[in-house]
């Protein structure tokens, strides 16, 4: 074999290796990304939180807004207290959509709070994310709100 043939063969092997690696990384990403929506009771989400980490969930909850935080809780508005919510009974809510979409989401949440009604929230759930002052808290990135 000539040096040119060896180099050509080596180049083909490198290209195949890169292609295989790319396909493998994409397959792992697809396996991790779950676009299904999981309807779940709020109490079950709190009990089985590890099972829903990173998944899109649909929950019925009450919205609470304090001075620096917004939460969802499974309790009715009359039972829920914003002053010092039990961190194990609430989910910290945030919106990562475009500004106009987030405004609509939070308008719907505020309306449900004024009416003292629970609202259906769809969002990507994050289990027990560490916060410097609060410790481990549950989080949801709100994608949609239904009345």
State the pTM of this model. Answer: 0.69
Angstrom distances, CA of residue 121 to CA of 55, 67, 98, 126, 139: 13, 21, 17, 14, 13
Find the mean pLDDT for residues 12-26. 83
pLDDT of residue 136 exceeding 90, the answer is no
Q: Where are the domains of the chain?
A: 1-33, 37-146
Rounded Cα distance between 147 and 108, Å, is 8
Query: Hey, what's the torsion of the CAs at 35, 36, 39, 41, to 10 degrees?
Result: -60
Find the mean pLDDT for residues 109-137. 80
User: Where does residue 91 rank: exposed (0-12), middle (13-18), buried (19+ CB within 10 A)?
Assistant: buried
Tens-place pLDDT, residues 74-88: 887 667 655 556 666
Q: pLDDT grade, residue 32 (50/70/90)?
A: low
Find out if CATH 2.40.50.140 is the number for domain 37-146.
Answer: yes
């Amino acid at each position: 074999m000539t040096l040119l043939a060896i180099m050509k063969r080596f180049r083909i092997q490198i290209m195949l290796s890169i292609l295989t690696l790319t396909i493998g990384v994409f397959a792992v990403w697809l396996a991790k990304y779950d676009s299904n929506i999981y309807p779940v009771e709020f109490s079950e989400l709190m009990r089985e939180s590890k099972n829903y980490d990173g998944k899109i969930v649909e929950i019925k909850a009450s919205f609470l807004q304090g001075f620096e935080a917004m939460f969802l809780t499974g309790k009715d508005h009359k039972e829920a207290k914003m002053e010092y919510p039990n961190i194990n009974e609430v989910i910290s809510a945030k919106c990562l959509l475009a500004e106009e979409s987030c405004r609509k989401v939070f308008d719907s949440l505020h309306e449900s709070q004024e009416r003292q009604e629970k609202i259906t929230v769809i969002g990507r759930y994050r289990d027990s994310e560490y916060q410097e002052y609060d410790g481990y808290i549950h989080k949801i990135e709100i994608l949609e709100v239904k009345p």
